[in-house]
Structure 1
Amino acid sequence: MPAFSLDPPQTAWCAELRTLAAERLRPLAEKGEPGHVNRALVAELGQLGLLERLFTSGAVDLCLMRESLAYACTEAETALALQGLGAHPVHAHGTPAQRDRWLPRVADGTAIAAFALSEPAAGSDAAALELRADAGASEPAAEPDGAARWRLTGEKCWISNAPEADFYTVFARTTPGAGARGVTAFLVPADRPGLGGTSLDMLSPHPIGALTFDAVPVTADDVLGEVDRGFRVAMGTLNLFRPSVGAFAVGMARAALDATLAHTAERDAFGGKLKDLQTVAHQVAEMALRTEAARLMVYAAATAYDEGAEDVPKRAAMAKLLATETAQYVVDQAVQLHGARALRRGHLLEHLYREVRAPRVYEGASEVQRGIIAKELYAGREAAQ
């Protein structure tokens, strides 16, 4: 695969996105209430045409958007990403009726989407989820119109945009004891009877909550994809969004690196500037090296996705793993080189320090990514024999 580099239009577009994020999106983000959906911010993303690009662009463009927005406004980046994560299953697997009802509203920022996979006892082991889709009889009940009907009973937890989303992509067990092969994806509007939720007070500033399902009714018209094949919907979505989580991380790392370059070049210390100390210069070089390596792996994975390569799961896992671990390292080192000022409320690095931790956990923790990589490596070895 050729090395990734930006062409002039892409470079200009990324610069434009960083400017828009700083001048139009960050003021709206600052007016938002931490832990709650910022609908004004989402609406502005829609007005700028960025949400529509979630459904018209490939993985590389998604990564460019997430990296560029993250550099200047992490809240805007996350709001955009969550719209994509929650709505991509509808875009990729929805019926014409589902798509017509929800995708235009997601694109213009008037409907909030959410991806509801994790549960209290099934986070990293997503195939072990227990939310039940109980049929009205021993088999999905055949209604007069031929629609199969189920009742969803159980809980979801750590769901971004919950409980304030307008609809949820929900993964439930339709066949007990079947592991990943017994899961179905449903599109569940937030106003369905029996669906409730609460907000969770988390370190990350974006909204995260828990959902409760008390015999929530769903029909065949709510199925995304095929019955008992919902795990494919989930993994297909994650294979697209995992590299872009890496792009989010790279955007934060680049912001931290640039702040560190400015600070160490201007800060007087020990009779000179901080940058003149070999220890500091080498540390900054290491931060830059790791950031660029992570960035290249992210865009290699995104390019592989867009080209339909066979090794997308492995590349996606590698990109997310390396980029999120790298961003944690770079932001931490940036804080160290800035000293106490970086820990003061309102400082860029104080904000990034809180933001950078969660991506190592969500959409598959780092340990899960290592497991995926190893599984794909051994599967490739067996296929070659």
Structure 2
Amino acid sequence: MEFELPERYAAIREEARGVAAGIADVAVEADGLSDRIHPDVLAALRSSNLTELMVPKVHGGRFDDVDPLAVCVAREGLMGTSSHLDSLFALQGIGSYAITRGGSAEQQARWLPAVGRAEVLAALALTEPVAGSDLKSMTTTLTETADGLVVNGEKAFISNAGHASFYTVLAKEGEGFSVVLVPADAEGITFGPTPPIIAPHVLGSVTLDHVVVDPANRLGEPGRGFDLVLSTLAVFRVSVAGASIGLAEAALREATRHANERVQFGRPLARLGAVAALLADSWTDLEQARLLTYRSAARARQDPLSALPHSSMAKLAASEAVGRIVDRCVQVMGRWGLVADSVVERAYRTARPMRVYEGASEVLRLGIAKALGDEYLDEVEA
């Protein structure tokens, strides 16, 4: 049984690390931005062609279909240096996958090649001021009229808000929920700020005031919007685990370097039992999360929807692990781990939101437990 990452994917991870190394000198500046995109980071992403991973081969991608393992290892390579770079990369897929799965041939031809070249930026508009994990409580509406599809509502905490070229919007339609593609230049769409968060990234609100779009902008079947949302989560949720691994590894490398170079009580910190235990536990946490992540992403390549419980497990395990790891790394480095914008301090701030977005840990546990119960009942009935 093979437990090593296949060479094709290891090469993508190294490619991503190389792209990230190229913007390392602006990473601190870029990672502090919430209202604009750093031009050097965007230029590096465009010239790298990594965003080809976010679209199928027929539209300029590298794989026949979007490959969760490839996306996962790319995020691992990017996040270790810059969360800004990682976010730009991830949103290209998260924001466009509903087009890949539910768009017409015309919509796919119009948008996906440009997404794959990062000529346009994508965004997914789900969250609202009241509706967070409970998406069914959203109030944004989609109404079909003689003039076209009319969208009304407000979305909050939307990544790439104000900078994306289009938004895939989930809205209530009748008794169900539908997804519609709203171009950024549509009349009636406006953007606003979001309260500052502990790990800044480009984030904002999106207000849709009687926005009218062509009926051809509907993605998927009317009232079946959650199918597209679940498909998106099935492919991209596990990539959050990949980003968690990259962040944890960067922090652990820095803490390990410090512990081996700094001498206290006549020996390197790494030779002191308490510090050695912190490092050993962190490496163990990291490798456990890595194995589960790669396995789950590989399963998602074959059947993303059926693998969603495993993707959720990987995201849960890795996002929780990175929190423990970076906390230990701060402890290993002592006062040096508290220095603002140092590798470990940035990792400490960046790690915390990862347990919230794309499925909070508590919500993931509910879904995982339900899937386990369903599997058990299937076995009993069989």
TM over 0.5: yes
Q: Could you tell me which of 279, 283, 287 is aligned with 2:278?
A: 283
User: For residues 206 and 14 of structure 2, what CA distance do their matches in structure 1 show?
Assistant: 39
Alignment of 1:65-214 (within 5 A): 65-136=74-145, 141=146, 149-175=148-174, 178=175, 182-200=176-194, 201-214=196-209
Q: Quick one: which of 220, 224, 233 aligns to 1:238? A: 233
Structure 2 counterpart of 1:25, one-letter code: I
Q: Please show how residues 284-363 of structure 1 align to structure 2 within 5 Å.
A: 284-308=279-303, 311-363=306-358
Is this contact kept in 2: 1:163–1:199, CA < 8 A?
Answer: no
Task: Work out the CA distance in 2 between the residues paired with 1:162 and 1:333.
Answer: 34
Please tell me the residue identity of whatever aligns with 1:308. Answer: D
> What is the CA-CA distance between 1:92 and the residue it aligns to?
2.2
Distance 2:177 2:2 in 1: 38
% identity of equivalent residues: 35
Q: How does 1:260-271 map to 2 (within 5 A)?
A: 260-271=255-266
SS of corresponding position for 1:171: strand
Cα deviation 1:87-130 (Å, max 9, x = unaligned): 12112221121112212222222211101011111111122222
Alpha-carbon distance change, 169 to 353 in structure 1, aligned in 2, over 3 angstroms: same
Whole-angstrom distance in 1 between the partners of 2:4 and 2:365: 27
Letter matched to residue 44 of structure 1 = A
**How far apart are the structure 2 equivalents of 1:12 and 1:374?**
35
Question: Contact 1:114 / 1:159 at 8 angstroms: preserved in 2?
Answer: yes
Deviation at 1:236, TM superposition (A): 0.7
1:59 to 1:348, Cα distance in 2 relative to 1, 3 A: same
1:70/1:76 contact within 8 Å kept: yes
- CA–CA separation in structure 1 for the residues paired with 2:266 and 2:103: 64
Q: For residues 255 and 235 of structure 1, what CA distance do their matches in structure 2 show?
A: 31
CA drift of 1:39 comes to 4.5
Q: Which runs of 4+ in 1 moved over 6 A?
A: none
Shift in CA distance, 309/238, structure 1 to aligned 2, threshold 3 Å? closer
- Residue 51 of structure 1 aligns with which residue? 51
SS in 2 for 1:52: helix
Which residue identity lines up with residue 70 of structure 1 in the other structure?
Answer: M
1:223 equivalent to 2:213? Answer: no
1:174-222 C-alpha deviation (Å, 9 max, x unpaired)? 12xx3xxx11011100111111111222222211111111111133211
**Residues 28 and 183 of structure 1, relative CA distance in 2, 3 Å threshold:** same
Letter of the 1:26 partner, please give it.
A
Rounded to whole Å, the distance in 2 between the matches of 1:364 and 1:330 is 20
| Structure-1 separation of matches of 2:219 and 2:103 | 5
d(CA) in 1 for partners of 2:356 and 2:153?
Answer: 23
1:255 is the counterpart of 2:264: no
1:383 deviates by 2.0
Partner of 1:374: 369
**Contact in 1 for aligned 2:115/2:122 (Cα 8 Å):** yes
* Maintained 8 Å contact 1:29/1:38: no
Residues 202 and 208 in structure 1, CA contact (< 8 A), matched pair in contact too: no
Contact 1:52 1:108 in 2 (8 A): yes
Match of 2:58 in 1: none
- Per the alignment, do residues 12 and 239 of structure 1 end up closer, same or farther by CA in structure 2, a change over 3 Å counting? closer
Report what 1:146 is aligned to: none
Query: For residue 43 of structure 2, what is the amino acid of its counterpart?
Result: A
Report the Cα distance in structure 2 between the residues aligned to 1:256 and 1:3, rounded to whole angstroms. Answer: 28
Opposite residue 189 of structure 2, the aligned amino acid is L
User: Counterpart of 2:158 in 1: which secondary structure?
Assistant: strand
Secondary structure in 2 matching 1:211: strand
Give the gaps of 5 or more residues in structure 2.
56-60
- Give me the whole-angstrom Cα distance separating, in 2, the residues matched to 1:115 and 1:63: 19
Q: Which amino acid aligns with 1:155?
A: E
Q: Which amino acid aligns with 2:285?
A: R
Verify the 8 A CA contact 1:118 1:156 in the aligned structure 2. yes
Q: Deviations over 1:7-51 (max 9, x none)?
A: 3454344334313311x2334545546112234422321221101
Structure 2 CA distance for aligned equivalents of residues 301 and 27 of structure 1: 33
Q: Deviations over 1:277-298 (max 9, x none)?
A: 1111111111011111111111
Q: Which runs of 5+ in 1 are unaligned?
A: 144-148
Counterpart-to-counterpart distance in 2, 1:125 and 1:301: 25
TM (norm. structure 1) is: 0.91
Q: For residues 31 and 109 of structure 1, do their structure 2 counterparts lie closer, same or farther at Cα, with a shift above 3 Å needed?
A: farther
Specify whether residues 40 and 221 from structure 1 end up closer, same or farther in structure 2 by C-alpha distance, changes over 3 A only.
farther
Q: Structure 2-normalised TM-score?
A: 0.91
Aligned residue pairs: how many?
368
- Per mean C-alpha deviation after superposition, the further-off stretch among 154-163 and 10-19 is 10-19
Indicate conservation of the 8 Å contact 1:331/1:349, yes or no: yes
